[in-house]
Amino acid sequence: MLSDFIAFCFPGMTAFQLVILAVSALLVGVNKSGIPGLGMLPVILLAVAFDLNPGFATGVMLLMICAGDIFAVSYYRRNADWKIVLRLLPYTMIGLALGFVTLRYLNKPEHLRMLIGWIILLLAAVHLVRVAFFKHAPVPGHWAFSAVVGLTAGFTTQVANAAGPVMALYLLSMKLPKDRYVGTCAWFFMIMNWTKLPVFCFEGRVTAAAVHAVLPVLPLILLGAFLGVLFVKRAPQRFFEIVIEIIVIVSAVKLLWPTSSEHTPAPAPAPAEETAPAGLPPPGPEPAAG
C-alpha cells in the first residue's frame, strides 16, 4: 500500500529527492508565515535535487509557495498594510511582464542574476547605512519610489526569484511591526504568485506530476507555517529585523555565485529513463518561482 502511494506521488524519485522535497516544504511554511526572505533556500535545494529537470523543480516550488501563501494569509489576513500592497501591485505586474519577455530573448540569464545580486547588495548597504545613521529619516513617499520598487520586485521574481530580498528591504524601511510586516508580505506574494500560476501551467512547468508530489507534503508546509508564527510571536522586533537583513545579504551573494550549470560542461545525451525520474515532465527552461 505504502509503496503504491509512493510510486503514484513520487514516481522515480530517489530517497535524497524525497528528503529535499520534505525539507523544502517545511522551509516554505516557515518562510511564508515567519521569516520572509527565506524562500531562496528551498529554491536552491530543489534545484540541486532535480538538477536534470529544472522545469519540474520550479513547478513544484511554485505550487508549494502558493499553498504557503494560503496558510499565511489565513493567519495574517487582518495584518496587511493594504496601502503598501495596492501601491506596489500595478508596477509589480508590469515588472513580471518585463521579466517574462526578457527571459524569452536573453541568451545568458545568469548575467541578469548577477546584476540583480549586485543591486540587492547595494540596496542592503543603503538600508544598513540608513539604520545606523539616518534611522529617523522619512521614507520617500513619491509615487516614483513605489514604482521603482514594484517594477524591481516583479522583474526580479520572474528572472531570479529575488523579489523576497527586494520587498524585505522596502518593508524594513517602512518600520512595520513584525505581524504587519509578515501580513503585508503574505498578501503581496499571494497575489503575485497566483498571478504567475496560470502562466506556469500554460508553459508546462506545473504538471500533474508536480501536483502529485506537492499534495502529500502539504502538512509539512502547514507545520512550517506554525513554526513561523511561533518565531514571529517570540522573536524581539530588532532580532526579527536582523534575521531578515542577514537573509537578504545571503540571498544576494547566492545570486552572484555561479550555478553548476554555468561552469560545468553539458552532459552527454542519455536515454529518457536516465535523465529524469519516471512520470516527470521533460526538462525545460528554468524560470524563477516567486
Longest Cα–Cα distance in the chain: 62
Look at the block and give the residue holding cell 504557503.
68
Instruction: Report pTM.
Output: 0.73
State how far the Cα of 237 lies from the Cα of 232, in Å rounded to an integer: 9
State how far the Cα of 70 lies from the Cα of 91, in Å rounded to an integer: 23
pLDDT at 269: 46
Positive or negative, the CA dihedral 121, 124, 128, 134 is positive
The closest alpha carbon to 223, from 42, 30, 78, 23, belongs to 30
Decide if 88 contacts 149 (C-beta within 8 A). yes
pLDDT at 225: 93
pLDDT at 12: 83
Positive or negative, the CA dihedral 84, 85, 91, 92 is positive
Alpha helices, H only, the chain: 2-9, 15-33, 40-49, 54-76, 82-105, 109-133, 143-160, 163-173, 178-202, 208-214, 218-234, 237-256, 260-263, 272-275
pLDDT at 11: 83
Distances (CA, A) of 152 to 94, 109, 258: 10, 16, 22
Q: Which amino acid, residue 169? A: L
Which 8-state DSSP code applies to residue 258? P
**53: which 3 cell numbers?**
529537470
pLDDT at 264: 46
Rg (CA), the chain: 19
**Residue 243: CB atoms within 10 Å:** 16
Q: What does the pLDDT profile of the chain (290 residues) look like in tens digits?
A: 677 777 778 888 889 999 999 999 999 999 888 887 677 778 778 877 887 777 788 889 889 999 999 999 999 988 899 999 999 999 999 998 888 888 777 666 566 666 666 766 776 676 566 556 555 555 566 678 889 888 988 887 776 666 777 787 788 778 888 889 889 999 999 998 898 888 888 878 888 999 999 999 999 999 999 999 998 888 887 787 788 778 777 766 776 665 544 444 444 444 444 444 444 555 444 444 45
State how far the Cα of 120 lies from the Cα of 247, in Å rounded to an integer: 11
